[in-house]
Structure 1
Amino acid sequence: MAINLKELVNSDASLISRRVWSDEAVYQLEKRAIFGKTWLFLGHESQIKSAGDFVQAYMCETPIILARGENGDIHASINSCTHRGLPVCRSDHGNTKRFICPYHNWSYSVDGSLVTIPQERAIKCKPDKRELGLKKVPRVETWRGLIFGSFNEAIEPLEDYLGDMKFYLGAWIDRFPGGIEFIGSPHRWVIDTNWKLPVENQLGDVYHGPHLHASIIAADSEAGIEIDNYAYNVVPTKGHGASFRLMPEDTPTDKIAWGFETPVGQLGSDELKNYLRSVQATAEAQVGPVRARMKGLAYGVYPNLSFLWSNAGFKVSHPRGPNKVEYWSWSVVPADAPEHLKQQLRNNHASFFGPGGLLEQEDSEAWIQQNIGANIDFADDRMLYYGLGLGEETTHPDLPGTVTTGANEYYARAFFQRWREDLLAEVDG
């Protein structure tokens, strides 16, 4: 069946066809138009601190080795031998001088250069090893230690791509003078759903909380009341999103400081609580008076990176076809926190948003069921409605971007408008 993108998503993205999530042809177009053209999150510099350090990553379904070279440069190479195509790296992370293909033992340096062909000594016509290194990701750039790669050599610089999203990400990252640190390997699990559903959820869908997570986030709970009174959804650029509460200036420290609204902060030691208070005490000097009052919820960077403020987790929705996603989730802590407090703070993330987390299980079930709804028969004529708050978008003197209340679905409409534009640009060539 031919794809008519204008029929799949209408111009203001208030009506969206179920085929957007379920159609194989749409997915194949997404791989070229989005994952082949945009900046994609690869990892964090704290994961590859020393020469020879490496971690594995993905760009859509393409396996990537992210490594620190001998001169300190960061390299991203496709994990596929140029001889017979096998992966040359089988470990999730580590430190090495060489990546070696197990089939014929071709070996590559951490920057992807081909170093050794054992069979060379048995032949007279020597191949040019300079032409046979691992395929490189042509663009790799960082911001605040976050590493992104792109297959698009002509893409705009990463800082321009992030744009005003830096204002919102920096509201959390820049609170910590030493920056942030990714702790351990990511949790990884497979969900029978489309990659866009976790992304959409964490772009700004704060109003599912009192319903799907009612046992923890009831409408009359402190968090629910704060969302009703102080929540904003902001779209800095179409596709990116930030949801947060902008608390009043006289909010007590323990009601605004990062970490206190989680059980780890509430039940933690006096030492941990005093550390969290000390971070908030310097927040205004670090990020300014407006951002110091931000109490974040969930953020998204187009196309598939999410960040959970309260539980300090970065998450990537890796596509594995139109109806399957491999979800990666890292716990993140302040890099200059004492080591024993880092371990306490790590529980902040896993208890709620690891694969067995209290909220993650409920979210995953909702995404699975939504994806089933996208694949049912005889419903193609009933578009899904994304029009809540349509036309109510506004601006705010202190917040860059398009600003809405928490219940407005503009965060999702803006994502799908950009999605539509990217796919149309690919089709129209």
Structure 2
Amino acid sequence: MSHRISELVSTDASRISRRCWSEQWVYELEKRAIFGRSWLFLGHESQIRDPGDFVQAYMCETPIILARGMSGGIHASINSCTHRGLPVCRSDHGNAKRFVCPYHSWSYSVEGDLIAIPQESAVSGKPDKSKLGLKRVPRVESWRGMIFGSFDEAIVPLEDYLGDMRFYLDAFFDRFENGIEFMGAPHRWVLDANWKLPVENQLGDVNHGAFLHAAIIPREAQDIIEQIGHSVVTAPGHGATFRLMPEDAPVDEVAWGMEGVGAILGGAEVQEYLRGIQAKAAERVGDIRARMKGLTYGIYPNLSFLWSNTSFKVSHPRGPGKVEYWSWPAVPADAPDTVKKILRTNYSSFFGPAGILEQEDAEVWVQQFNGSNIDFAEDHKYFYGLGLGEEKPHPDFPGLVSVTANEFYARHFFARWRDELMAVEDVE
């Protein structure tokens, strides 16, 4: 069997081989071509507010310590001792002055510097500790409190990487005067699926709702999405879907959060808070974005954002057929604590690990992977051609825009995926 990426994705990305999800050699290329060269989401600044605060993260399968240094800077280091490779941090999150390897007790500062080697007092030659710190992630940048890292020292600045996606992300972030915060540690669970399957789903596939989630999403809700919904690709791999509500729509139909369980069942305090946010939306984000009700967003390669349920998700690869899914609820940073607690139910009821919709999606991703790994079907590639060529520029929205049924969000993702893997493949 030939091992060439060019054979897996057609020129227009409308036909995609099942091997894109199932082959180990493809995954090995992905690690170098994508995860070694992209900006990868690490965490939110609200998780590391104070000096010494840290959380654990991953960049592909590489364990990372994300920490607030004693001088207030943000540092990302690989969680592996320079001496014998053990993890020097075993806690998922916390506050520390030192990270200590349990094997020989080499200790490191939260910034990643090697501080002490107990054994060096017994030898004459003293190693240069300044050269033996934890391996640093060479590029770390933050935007709107969202922290990203990259192994590629030459990568473009994060703002340039996000590009026009900032227009759509700010329709959410800029609604809140003091930004957002993540509530607690991430939920984490493992699925027998490929990492790209959750990414694709939440990059723009909103038209499965009335079918897969028929018990919760009525056909009428899907009809509204199809009538007023837009799908956007700002750059290959970055995308957003949203509803543009009519100018005369009632505030309760437009306001962020009002369609969630928290607002429906949470009482007057929550509802009045959300109406107050919407009352200032046009002033903060402009008339058009004030009427945007987001659905699914995606940042290449593996960060997803669900607007209505205010959930950020990262699809961490663990091989071609396994993914560790991390998911955080987010709330406005300056909301009253009582409101934050209630708004969190918008996430947990639907898109936490036990959420109704999350469980249905997870089952589909596992079955998708199984379908990509069966025998005697390789000559029957998947069809990704719905709406081929119908996406076009829009006078009000950056990027290419189309109806939500157009699968161009996935075609553009796989075109970028193909080209990046081919670039590494050709070098090797």
Both structures adopt the same fold (TM-score exceeding 0.5): yes
> Residues of 1 paired with 2:114 and 2:57: CA distance?
20
- Secondary structure at 1:41 match in 2: strand
* Residue pairs, 1:18-417, within 5 angstroms: 18-220=18-220, 223-417=221-415
Structure 1 position 17 matched with structure 2 position 20: no
1:5 deviation in Å?
1.2
Alignment: residue pair count: 427
CA deviation map 1:262-290 (0-9, x unaligned): 12111211010000000000001111111
What's the CA shift string for 1:79-99, capped at 9, x where partnerless? 000000000000000000000
Q: Which amino acid aligns with 2:322?
A: K
> What is the aligned-residue RMSD (CA, Å)?
0.7
Shift of 1:324: 0.3
> Could you tell me whether the CA contact under 8 Å between 2:261 and 2:345 is conserved in 1?
no
Residue identity in the other structure for 1:336:
D
Kindly provide the amino acid, as one letter, of the partner of residue 87 in structure 2. Answer: P
2:322 and 2:348 map into 1 onto residues whose CA distance is 22
Contact 2:58 2:316 in 1 (8 A): yes
1:206 match: secondary structure: coil
Greater CA deviation, 152-161 or 390-399? 390-399
Cα deviation, residue 2, structure 1: 4.0
User: Tell me, which stretches of 5 or more residues in structure 2 are unaligned?
Assistant: none
Task: Give yes or no for contact 2:43–2:147 (8 Å, CA) kept in 1.
Answer: yes
Distance 2:420 2:237 in 1: 11
Amino acid in the other structure paired with 2:273: Y
Point out 4+ residue stretches in structure 1 off by more than 6 angstroms. none
Tell me by how many angstroms 1:428 deviates: 2.2
Amino acid at match of 1:8: L
* 3-state SS, counterpart of residue 409 of structure 2: helix
Cα offsets for 1:345-400 (capped at 9, x unmatched): 11110111111100000000000001000000000100000000001111211100
When the two structures are superposed, what TM-score results if normalisation uses the length of structure 2? 0.99
Distance in 1 between residues matched to 2:178 and 2:415, nearest whole Å: 37
* Letter matched to residue 236 of structure 2: K
What is the TM-score when the length of structure 1 is the normalising length?
0.99
Unaligned runs of 5+ residues in structure 1 are: none
Taking the aligned partners of 2:81 and 2:5, their CA distance within structure 1 comes to 37
SS in 2 for 1:422: helix
Q: What is the distance in 2 between the residues matched to 1:2 and 1:224?
A: 42
CA distance in 2, matches of 1:267, 1:284: 27
3-state secondary structure, aligned to 2:188: strand
Structure 1 distance, partners of 2:56, 2:282, is 37
Report the CA distance between 1:3 and its aligned residue.
Answer: 1.9
Question: SS where residue 207 of structure 1 aligns?
Answer: coil
SS of the residue corresponding to residue 314 of structure 2 reads strand
2:242 aligned partner, one-letter code: F
Could you say what secondary structure the match of 1:236 adopts?
A: strand
- Rounded to whole Å, the distance in 2 between the matches of 1:219 and 1:291 is 26
